[in-house]
Structure 1
Amino acid sequence: MNKKVAYWMLAFFLTVSFTLPGTFLVNSSASETSTEKGSGSYTHTVFAEYCSLSYCPHCPPVSSQLQQIYNSNDYPFIYVTLVYDKNPKIRNRCAELGVQGFPTVVFDGGYTRVIGEQSSIEPFVSAIEECGERDDVYDVSIDILMRSMGNDRIQVNVTIFNRDSRAYQGTLRAYVAEIESRWRDASQKPYHFAALDFVYNQPISISSGGKLDLSTIWDGSEYNIDIEDIVVIAAVFDSHTDYADNVSMADIYSAYPDTIITSGPEGIINETTVTFTWIGKDREVPAEQLLYSYRLEPLYPEWSDWTSATTVTYTNLSEGWYKFEVKAKNPDNEEDPKPASSTFAVNLHHPPEVKISKPGRRLCINNKVYPIPLPIVIGKCDIYVDATDEAGIDHVDFYIDGELEYQDTHQPYQYTTWYTTTFFKRYTIEVIAYDTLGNQNSDII
């Protein structure tokens, strides 16, 4: 090969490398989202496809901002992360979305997008609000059911309902994703909802008022998956615009009953009588056929017998912290794997019991206590404190002549080692014990 041919081949390679979608980084603070806001009502759940590179220095803030929005539960919003350099199975999707730089977040299949690193979540929130007010969406919904088949195989059933007056023509894209990804961004933090594979990627057609049922088994053996870390994210895209009309997400627990506490105490209360109420849901049976079991730790650590009751009252509770849990069971004996729970504390304002046990009001010479009722310390002396409380001790503070010398948060509560430096000097030793509810008590010698 002569030098001229080699030169042109190199030039061609470089040209292709820097013009193919997603092969260069973008550090733009400009967003392509609209600045106009409407009524704030949402016509559907907004879907975002976040295209990233694991070594992109401008991607970590975007990863954090999207997860912050998702965790807030303030918006009907679901997103999937497409890590371009880690997963060849999703690279074509980045190209279909017209991605030419990273990071790029595409909302509703291209209705709007945010390109580059952003200083706050506001551009993403604006994009969600803009998409959420779309009036061109079809009235379609998606129901996903996942069941573990063992050996990293998952049965995935998807049902799409078309309640629109028009027939629906579009594409179903269902991603298998990890809640906390095996892949990390440039800040070495794991991605969230990073796609491993498509479980469905196909055209669909549904008549007005009709539904489409799909079922398949996805084999994840090549990924060595943690089944509890897997979700399926399914979205439908209108064939006329390629925009997303709705999206849904399910985890492995979606096939099991779900329990929701509807009322009951939270935080710190001053009453000794509490009442909890709850409801149960199951995808395949009515709520009337569900049974429930509950417990209140540490008072009643064992689960109760199964019952159809949806309320329970506890009386004469002592001061302290409690955790209430309740779970549903369907007629197939499938239990809610994640019981609903509520943590609360009863505060009767009882102070802790606290006493300086060493040296006490006895003679202490070089850390040895003698049974002589003289509060005199000569040389070194460890200070030990006995502190108890129904709600538990949070910490004990040790003061010498009004100065905080030490704080201990674990039993045995002690200050090691205090010693006197001056003969015949009067000292005041004070300890203050605080319980987990903020009540306090002290002892002084």
Structure 2
Amino acid sequence: MEKIIYSSIAALLILNFFAFTPSAEISDEQFTHTVFAEEFTATWCVYCPSAAENLMLIYEDVPGEPYYDDNFFFVALITDVNDKADDRMGDFPDVTGYPTVIFDGNDEKVSGGQSSTANYEQAIDNTGQREDTDISLEIEMSHLGDDRLDISISMIWNEDGSFGNPTFNGYVRAYIVEKISRYNNYDGDPYHFGFLDYAFDQEVELEPREKQSLSTVWTGGDHQDKNGNDFSDIEYENINVFVAFFNDESTASDKFSLQSAFAIPPRIEVETIEHLVGQEFTEVDDIAGGDLRIRGNAFSEKSDIAELTYRWNNEPWKSTGIGNFNGAFETIIDTTKVPNGINKLELKTDNTGASTITELEINILNDFENPTMNLLSHDEGETVMK
């Protein structure tokens, strides 16, 4: 779909650099739902980088800038490199130029380049306080290896149906994005949260107060951009999924997003592996045994690490007893239940929406004790040899 950009629109973009709308950042308690923004942009757009950077200032916890914690997310829909991004822009006839950012499915709209975060703050504050249908939304993502993602979502309509409306019809979109995009903007910098594809893009019908779930395995190599390049080269730690639940788009006069959720993989780094020798822990050189002490760090954006688990050799996951943290960890793991030799030890971190696994190879030897002799019986006069 071709876009015609008039000179009057270009003038509007310039004027927006000097516009300022006062904003008072609202509290977490004032949000009725998580706000979701769609940034329509193109790689050739001169004024688009200012929009992207000001959105990112709001998203990140930057000193002196507004911060909405887990109440705000956005995606960059780069229409000149992605057909589905281009189609999404076509859903909004009043979006006629770049950059344009719509909040919650066009409940609020901010057009043109921006010299500050003020207009975006105002849009988030207004949209975040909107009273609407009560929807709960959750997402889970895990890495199946290579370019495969296991993604599932669950939705609940937290209201009672009526005689005229026994069910609630809606529309769900799950946007797979790269936090650091493969595509660069006009200034030559990577986009933030550059859109790749949808995990889900479909109508749903919800029963009152009943959970409905969807799941899929998304493979990057099965999808491609406008240039014919597929996404088989994705890196899991750079992938985020933002899901938004919208009003029924076939009938509703407004098509607002009622709730959104996120899946952002946590990061885990193992710093030291020690084992107990005598009464002291010593760093593992080649062979380990007894108790292992593993120290490291686990980091999660927008939510804490809910749980740290482990397993040997693909056996069931076991809890370390560590949860609800963000940062340094220390755990003790017993090696005496696994065979001697090379063993695979996996550590998994789970947060709100995603999990990350790190894999270690540990050479185990637990033959530390001296041999023992059990004397069963002997005849009188026989010599027992040790």
Q: Which residue of 1 aligns with 2:292?
A: none
Give the counterpart of 1:71 among 60, 80, 104: 60
**Contact persistence 1:293–1:328 (CA under 8 A):** no
| Cα drift, residue 51 of structure 1 | 0.5
1:132 partnered with 2:101: no
Give the counterpart of 1:226 among 212, 231, 235: 235
Distance 1:80 1:283, change over 3 A: farther
**Contact persistence 1:178–1:193 (CA under 8 A):** yes
| Cα drift, residue 97 of structure 1 | 2.5
| Cα drift, residue 151 of structure 1 | 3.2
**Contact persistence 2:141–2:355 (CA under 8 A):** no
Distance 1:25 1:229, change over 3 A: farther
**Contact persistence 1:253–1:337 (CA under 8 A):** no
1:44 partnered with 2:33: yes
User: How far apart, CA to CA, are the structure 2 residues paired with 1:38 and 1:178?
Assistant: 28
Q: Which residue of 2 aligns with 1:149?
A: 144
Distance 1:247 1:29, change over 3 A: farther
CA deviations 1:413-437 (Å, max 9, x no partner) are xxxxxxxxxxxxxxxxxxxxxxxxx
Q: Which residue of 2 aligns with 1:385?
A: none
User: How far apart, CA to CA, are the structure 2 residues paired with 1:236 and 1:283?
Assistant: 30
| Cα drift, residue 17 of structure 1 | 5.4
Residue pairs, 1:313-328, within 5 angstroms: none
Distance 1:128 1:170, change over 3 A: same
1:237 partnered with 2:231: no
User: How far apart, CA to CA, are the structure 2 residues paired with 1:33 and 1:158?
Assistant: 38
Count of residues in correspondence between the two structures = 266
| Cα drift, residue 293 of structure 1 | 6.9
CA deviations 1:98-129 (Å, max 9, x no partner) are 32000000000010100001111000000000
| Cα drift, residue 283 of structure 1 | 11
| Cα drift, residue 337 of structure 1 | 5.0
SS at match of 1:194: strand
| Cα drift, residue 192 of structure 1 | 0.9
User: How far apart, CA to CA, are the structure 1 residues paired with 2:140 and 2:240?
Assistant: 10
1:83 partnered with 2:78: yes
User: How far apart, CA to CA, are the structure 1 residues paired with 2:103 and 2:86?
Assistant: 17
User: How far apart, CA to CA, are the structure 2 residues paired with 1:235 and 1:94?
Assistant: 16
User: How far apart, CA to CA, are the structure 1 residues paired with 2:191 and 2:12?
Assistant: 19
**Contact persistence 1:25–1:102 (CA under 8 A):** no
SS at match of 1:305: strand
CA deviations 1:115-157 (Å, max 9, x no partner) are 001111000000000001101x221122111122223111111
**Contact persistence 2:147–2:234 (CA under 8 A):** yes
User: How far apart, CA to CA, are the structure 1 residues paired with 2:266 and 2:23?
Assistant: 39
Amino acid at match of 2:4: F
Give the counterpart of 2:319 among 290, 298, 302: 290
| Cα drift, residue 58 of structure 1 | 0.4
User: How far apart, CA to CA, are the structure 2 residues paired with 1:293 and 1:243?
Assistant: 39
When the two structures are superposed, what TM-score results if normalisation uses the length of structure 1? Answer: 0.53
**Contact persistence 2:26–2:125 (CA under 8 A):** no
Q: Which residue of 2 aligns with 1:176?
A: 176
Q: Which residue of 1 aligns with 2:227?
A: none
CA deviations 1:195-236 (Å, max 9, x no partner) are 101111100111110111101111102212112111111000
Structure with the larger RCO, 1 or 2 (CA within 8 Å, 6+ apart): 2
Distance 1:33 1:207, change over 3 A: farther
SS at match of 2:171: strand
Distance 1:109 1:306, change over 3 A: same
User: How far apart, CA to CA, are the structure 2 residues paired with 1:196 and 1:43?
Assistant: 29
CA deviations 1:180-206 (Å, max 9, x no partner) are 000011111111111101111100111
User: How far apart, CA to CA, are the structure 2 residues paired with 1:63 and 1:190?
Assistant: 10
Q: Which residue of 1 aligns with 2:4?
A: 18
Q: Which residue of 1 aligns with 2:155?
A: 160
**Contact persistence 1:56–1:102 (CA under 8 A):** yes
Q: Which has the larger radius of gyration?
A: 1
User: How far apart, CA to CA, are the structure 2 residues paired with 1:159 and 1:283?
Assistant: 23
Amino acid at match of 2:143: S
When the two structures are superposed, what TM-score results if normalisation uses the length of structure 2? Answer: 0.61
